[in-house]
Amino acid sequence: MHHQSHSDPSPAALSTVGDATTDAATTRPLRVGVIEDQPLLGGMLAELLDGAPGVTFVGRAGTVAEARRLFLPGTVDVLTMDIELPDGNGVSLGVSLRRAQPGLGVVLLSAYDLMDMLLEMPADVRDGWSYLSKTSSLTREILLEAIRVSARGETMLDPELIDRTRPRAGSSLESLTDRQYAVLQLLATGRSNTGIATRLGIAEKSVQNHLTAIYAALGIEHDTSSNPRVSAVLALLAESGRLS
């Protein structure tokens, strides 16, 4: 498939200003690239991101080969990534790009419910991935939030799909109270403790207490090798089913 009119990033946009893992959210706008093989959708994503608050749009690629040429390590903070590309798989591309740049955030976009692919991520690159469905509630606000969450090294899953999750019988999720499960679902949609507290009308300290109980119930330990918030989101994916 031939791709035309992809935005060529300016030299300024591609300059490697420091390390992409350095608190990018507060020091400068997040540099975001788009990898999408459908020209119409790719153009819409580029237009949506160009000029968005807190974001610098770097450029767009339509194939794995283009992405490897365009998004060299240190040139972007977050990539939005179509999973099915003409010359390869977006997940495999994301894994290799993340290994070259460990702080890189990736927001996977798919027309299908492929969230469970996140469960197959290698342990060394499993933080910083988000997943949004192209066919559900993909809005500018949700996309920008997923970009910010991934830039922090955390995980955000499609809110509409997460809203349909239910614990599998016999899973450790079944031991959670209704309130704890609601906290976990909100965590999975990228909300901060403050955001969860606001949504549920409870104190932020209560959210932290719920999270401590959730981590214990799911067997998640606090260690430096993995983000417990990401581990909790992946446990929700692994131990739940989704209503059709």
* pLDDT per residue as tens digits for the range 194-207: 999 999 999 999 99
What phi and psi, each to the nearest 5 degrees, are found at residue 35? -120, 105
pLDDT at residue 114 tops 80: no
Which fold, 164-242?
Answer: Arc Repressor Mutant, subunit A (1.10.10)
Q: Is the pLDDT of residue 110 over 80?
A: yes
User: Chain-centre distance of CA 68, in angstroms?
Assistant: 20
Which pair of tokens denotes residue 183? Answer: 């906290």
pLDDT in tens, 49-62: 988 999 999 999 99
| pLDDT given at position 20 | 39
In this structure, are residues 233 and 187 in contact, taking their beta carbons and an 8 Å threshold?
yes
Window from 4-8, 118-122, 171-175, 195-199 with minimum mean pLDDT: 4-8
CATH fold for the domain made of 11-156: Rossmann fold (3.40.50)
CB atoms near residue 196 (< 10 Å): 23
Distance of CA 232 to the CA centre of its chain: 14
Tokens (6 digits) for 213: 């109980």
What is the band of 117 on the pLDDT scale with cuts at 50, 70, 90?
confident
What CA–CA distances, in Å, run from 128 to 9, 56, 171? 24, 19, 25
121 phi and psi, to 5 degrees?
-65, 135
Q: Per-domain residue ranges for the chain?
A: 11-156, 164-242
Q: Could you tell me the pTM of the whole model?
A: 0.82
